[in-house]
Structure 1
Amino acid sequence: MDPVGVPGRCRLVHADAGPAPGLRARVPTGGDRRYPALGAAGRRIHPQGAGPVSSLAGRLIGPLAALAVLAGCATFPEAQPLERVDTGSGYRYANLEGAENSEELFVILSFSGGGTRAAALAYGVLEKLRDSWVEMDGESRNLLDEVDVISSVSGGSFTAAYYGLQRDAIFEEGGRFQRQFLYRDVESDLKRRLLSPFNWARLASPTYGRIELAEEVYQQLLFDRASFADLADGGRKPFLLINATDMDKGSQFTFVQSQLDPMCVDLDSIPLSRAVAASSNFPIAFTPLTLNSYPGRCGYQEPPWVANALEGLNTNPRRYYRARHWQRYQEPERDYVHLLDGGVSDNIGLRPALDALRAPTLQEVEWSVLNKMNRELVDKLVVIVVDAKSENLAADVDTSPRSPGPRQVINTISTTPLANYSFDTVELLREALRDRADAQRLSLDAGTGMHQIDLYYIYVGFDQLTDDAERERFQGIPTRFRLPDEEVDALRHVGAELLEQSPCFQQLVGQRDGSTGRLCSH
């Protein structure tokens, strides 16, 4: 598939490659009766008095016609339909279980949004995990190799996706990820693509938007033509959950095959660059990203948990609404899904982990941690939340009697709800872990034999910094795709430092005893 075209339609190319082949105005050498001003050799014959003006107009006909054709055929790349649902193929958690990674030490990472600030902080955490080891069953295990799932949104998705695709190559000093993204002025790349006259005609198309231009930039800088098929073929953990937001439902949309099964869409046909673009699709700055949907065409069978959940509005409303959204993807008239930034629905990427701790079956959540704990497959559960949230420390609106201006109001309504929602999500996760720890303790006291699991919740965020000036410095770093090199260096360092200083992390890497059912939450 052409990166910005659709099979069987117009062939398009990137802006920096010049006009698409076949779109130049051509003149037959023998003249053309339809254009009497053209001579036998295709030379223009100027009527008396016409002169250079008519000549200039003639020269513009070809390029203008080409741009008109280009605008007419520019469209988003189509995802391919799934012929039939096959749980034994595609990018699914179960299909990665053959990798050298044990589930008895189950590690979940969540990477928040926040542009390059978030990407660099997550990068620093990965660097620390690479250099950390834990003792289990008499053997030393590398913590990064033991990561089972990475859930990410927005800026954090760049780090997650590149690591999932390239593994340790992400750590090369001066390597592609550092050179082409982390230390690069990506904003200028995006602006150049937007300001190219070649792209203005493409943007005139109702099915081609600014998000397609952004995807082209990310593809060129980082991902080339890699798709989820490359992740599936690798068969290695971690399982990547790149999250966006479904604009129609307001719910989280995750790029995994199980999410696309009800839509009868083949995830293997979707480029990684497109998923990352959707995840980081900040509203207004970019247009919504559109995915095709082919409901009812692949023999999809609705799993039993959906009907069960629809009966529990009052007992489990979150599960009820998840089931409703699941059903809507199967409605035959819904041929498209429009996606926004993942931060709109969950700016720390933690909701999938919360669902995995609550879902009792693998049919509901394919990597259900609750199911694995109940089957005594997990001895240690580690959840590391990397939260790059910032604070608008310069606002200080309460120090002045003047009414805040539109810019301040927009900033508040676009950031405050996300921060509050993220806080609630963290508390829900901690509550779920406390409930499990309480149940284990009661079982141990009663001698009922519940499997005892060590539970670790580790938070990496600027709030953990004890020095006021340092904390304000990091919280004041803007959400952009362009940061000074020294700020990127500092973010990498503080990510590793905050993880290393976490009491729960220290307990994890220093613990040599067997599982005792303890909860460590800091």
Structure 2
Amino acid sequence: MAEQPSTHTSLHNKLCAWTRHFYRCVQTCARRGASALLAVGMAAMLTACTEYTFTPGAPSTYVSNTAAADPPASQPLVGVAISGGGNRSALFASYVFELLGSLPVAAPAGAGSSAQPISFLDTVGHISSVSGGSFAASYFSMKSIGHYSAMLTGSTIPTPYAQFFADFHHQMNFNWEAALFGFKIVTLGSNAEGLAKAIDTEYLHGATFADLDKREASGASPFLILNATHYDTGRRFVMTTIPSDAFCLNTEQLLLDVVYAPTGQEKHVDDKHEAQLSQCDRSDALTPEGFDSFWNPKRESVPSAALPLARAVATSGAFPLVVGPIAYEVTGDHELLHLIDGGVGDNSGIESLLQLFLRDLLKTRSHRDLIVSLDASLPFNAYGATIAGDKSPLSAFIDDPTRVSDIQEVRASLYRQDLWNVTTYAARTMKQSNSVVTRLDIIALKPDDLNVSSLRIDTPECHTHYDDARAVRTAARDIPTRYHLDACDAELVRVAACWSVHQHAQQIQQFFDAESGGRRRGYDDSGDETDSGHADSSNGRTGMLDSRIKQMCPELVANHAL
């Protein structure tokens, strides 16, 4: 007998259909000058509507998992985490990726390469992204042409790579606002269907997780992890071909055990947690859910191979009210599966890689792993400039609607960084330990790294200048979180990417350099990376990268910053 939809689901579908019809009426009213609040309110109702239904069943089997199950013992895991931040994050990532393609690093032992350096991009095996960062992550995963070591020679980038990155930059600042919102008065009225369709039309072209799996299995793409949040349970939700139990590790308990372990007993901590790797504690709040295991309200799974990647990208970026939460129907369930922006739980994308890589380091004691964090999340505005003139609660909320969540996010982020710092300091300095945490490097690149005495940008689309270092840093810090950046903000992202790569290039190289002696880094108390290892073109180690930075950002040459 065919399964009948529940009363709850039928009512929800009818409400969504009615709301869509009414929304068209609201659009007409808004164009005629009717209440903007009415338009916004009804548009927001659409965010929970969906046209995608899952059928419960065994999770999809992905071929790429075979390759991931047994990586060469001598090869490090290298991952890139791309934060949330709208087009600011996506565009920053596209420029950083291009420059890191020209960064030579020592080929890892067992990589099947000659003694010649290889491109950093050719070492990247995992990309974890959140929200706007998922635009860049999905584009690179599905469009990447590979073999980036070809970018290490010659005075110019080979034509195929130049075209790939030009398209990458263009797409990462596509005007999603125009595509989705249509007209300014209903800016908060975007819906998940519209965003997913726009992403699919622009660059994913019907690609599914099955298509991603083929690229991952062939080595054409790194493993992609799109992070969302399960709105019903509050858990991180990983949309990936990697089984969710591969992320099962209580990182907080591991770090605390390292800190409190008696001197000389640190190895027993690693042994203890390694023995627990096969026992995934799904009750642990830090254990993420995925399509292969989630609670709704019972533990279940759904096949995900046919799920369009565009829908997963939209889900990762389903910011509250603007796009999400997104409600998925699960056949036979009374409850809908609600997913929302991954930045609600972790806006960096690091947490998924941290769990995945620490598990690897527990299993393979000879490994050293690296996470490069592209952190373009908007720095918290501690000056309150956006609400400085607001006298009423409503006006303060309207002028800075995300401030409450921003306060929660920055506090949680600082606590995570502090715990990591204390643990790594204790293990490396106080105990001289070779604990699992001492074999993982995290290097952060940020747009607000930009620190030059002045800056003048003169392009066909933008003519602006910043007279002093404070003006430059303020401008870089205040690039808005939007689904489209104006010309000057986009140019500032480009320059910020050049500066950040320039600052951190040698730090990345040192990870691969056997002569570095395995030095490690942490965060200082401001949340910034310590021991950044400024790039120094005089020693020639960065090869063609220095000239590529100068070609991409002549503004930094003009003001003698390089």
TM-score w.r.t. length of structure 1: 0.63
The answer to whether the 8 A contact 1:281-1:288 is kept is yes
**Match of 1:465?**
450
* Corresponding position of 1:184: 174
Query: Which among 170, 189, 195 is matched to residue 214 of structure 1?
Result: 195
Opposite residue 154 of structure 1, the aligned amino acid is: S
Moved over 6 A (4+): 193-196, 397-401, 450-453
Match of 2:318 among 281, 284, 290: 281
2:414 match: 423
Over 3 Å counting, the alpha-carbon distance change for 1:102 and 1:474 in structure 2 is farther
Instruction: Please state how far the C-alpha of 1:403 moved relative to its aligned partner.
Output: 5.3
- The 8 Å contact of residues 112 and 154 in structure 1, kept in 2 or not, is answered as yes
Of residues 160, 165, 177, the one that matches 2:142 is: 165
* 8 Å CA contact retained: 2:104, 2:118: yes
What is the Cα deviation at residue 474 of structure 1? Answer: 1.4
Q: Does 1:410 align with 2:385?
A: no
Paired residue secondary structure (1:144): helix
Aligned-residue CA RMSD in angstroms? Answer: 3.8
* Matching of residue 336 in structure 1 with residue 346 in structure 2: no
TM-score normalised according to structure 2 size: 0.59
Tell me, what secondary structure is at the counterpart of 2:52? coil
Equivalent residue number for residue 80 of structure 2? 109
Uncovered stretches (5+) of structure 1, i.e. residues with no partner: 1-70, 197-202, 204-208, 295-331, 357-366, 444-449
Shift of 1:484: 2.2
Give the partner amino acid of 1:340. Answer: I
**Structure 1 vs Structure 2: percent identity of aligned residues?**
24
**Distance between the aligned counterparts of 2:238 and 2:194, measured in 1?**
22
Please give the alpha-carbon distance, in whole angstroms, between the structure 2 residues aligned to 1:103 and 1:172: 34
Contact in 2 for aligned 1:91/1:267 (Cα 8 Å): no
In structure 2, what is the Cα distance between the partners aligned to 1:120 and 1:161? Answer: 13
Corresponding residue number in structure 1 for 2:53 = 78
Q: How far does residue 108 in structure 1 lie from its aligned partner after superposition?
A: 2.0
Is residue 2:62 matched to residue 1:90? yes
**2:495 paired residue number:** 493
1 CA distance for matches of 2:370 and 2:53? 39
1:501-520 per-position Cα deviation (integer Å, ceiling 9, x unaligned): 02862652783427x44312
CA shift at 1:175, angstroms?
5.2
Change beyond 3 A, Cα 1:172–1:393: farther
Distance in 2 separating the partners of 1:93 and 1:496: 35
Name the CA shift for 1:268/1:403 in 2 (closer, same or farther; >3 Å).
same
Who is 1:120 aligned against?
Answer: 91
Q: State how many pairs are aligned.
A: 380
Identify if the C-alpha distance between structure 1 residues 244 and 92 changes in structure 2 by more than 3 Å, giving closer, same or farther. farther
SS at match of 2:226: strand
| Structure 2: 5+ residue stretches without partners | 1-45, 110-114, 146-159, 244-289, 294-299, 452-468, 523-528, 530-562
2:438 and 2:370 map into 1 onto residues whose CA distance is 7
Describe how 1:247-258 pairs up with structure 2 within 5 A: 247-257=231-241, 258=243
Contact in 1 for aligned 2:95/2:169 (Cα 8 Å): no
Tell me, yes or no, if the aligned pair for 2:103 and 2:119 is still in contact at 8 Å: yes
Contact 1:150 1:241 in 2 (8 A): yes
| Superposition map of 1:97-496 within 5 A | 104-135=75-106, 136-137=108-109, 138-168=115-145, 172=163, 176-179=167-170, 181-192=171-182, 210-234=191-215, 235=217, 236=219, 237-257=221-241, 258=243, 259-262=290-293, 263-293=300-330, 336-354=336-354, 356=355, 367-392=356-381, 395-396=384-385, 402=391, 405=395, 406-408=397-399, 410-431=401-422, 433-434=424-425, 437=428, 441-442=432-433, 455-466=440-451, 467-496=469-498
8 Å CA contact retained: 2:450, 2:496 = no
Amino acid at match of 1:252: R
Aligned to 1:19: none
Q: 1:508 aligns to what SS in structure 2? A: helix
2:375 and 2:121 map into 1 onto residues whose CA distance is: 15
Cα deviation for residue 453 of structure 1 reads: 6.5
Which one-letter code corresponds to 2:54 in the other structure?
A
Is the 1:108–1:150 Cα contact (8 Å) retained in structure 2? yes
Deviates more, 1:418-427 or 1:248-257: 418-427
Quick one: distance in 1 between partners of 2:65 and 2:494? 29
Give 1:394 deviation, angstroms.
7.8
Letter in 2 for 1:156: G
Per the TM alignment, residue 245 of structure 1 is displaced from its structure 2 partner at its CA by: 1.1
Task: State the distance in 1 between where 2:143 and 2:99 align.
Answer: 18
Per the alignment, in what secondary structure is the counterpart of residue 150 of structure 1? strand
Larger Rg belongs to: 1
Q: In the TM superposition, what is the alpha-carbon distance from 1:155 to its structure 2 partner?
A: 0.6
Q: Provide, for residues 481-502 of structure 1, a one-character-per-residue CA deviation record: whole Å limited to 9, x for no partner.
A: 1112343233133124213302
> Shift of the alpha carbon at 1:233?
1.1
Q: Which amino acid aligns with 1:389?
A: L
Counterpart amino acid of residue 62 in structure 2 = G
In the TM superposition, what is the alpha-carbon distance from 1:421 to its structure 2 partner? 2.5
Partner SS, residue 212 of structure 1: helix
- Offset of 1:347 from its aligned partner? 1.2
Q: C-alpha distance in 1, partners of 2:379/2:328?
A: 31
1:229-266: CA deviation from partner (whole Å, max 9, x where unpaired): 11111213521110111111122111024222223211
Q: 1:174 to 1:139 in 2, by over 3 A?
A: closer
Change (3 A) 1:492 1:93: farther
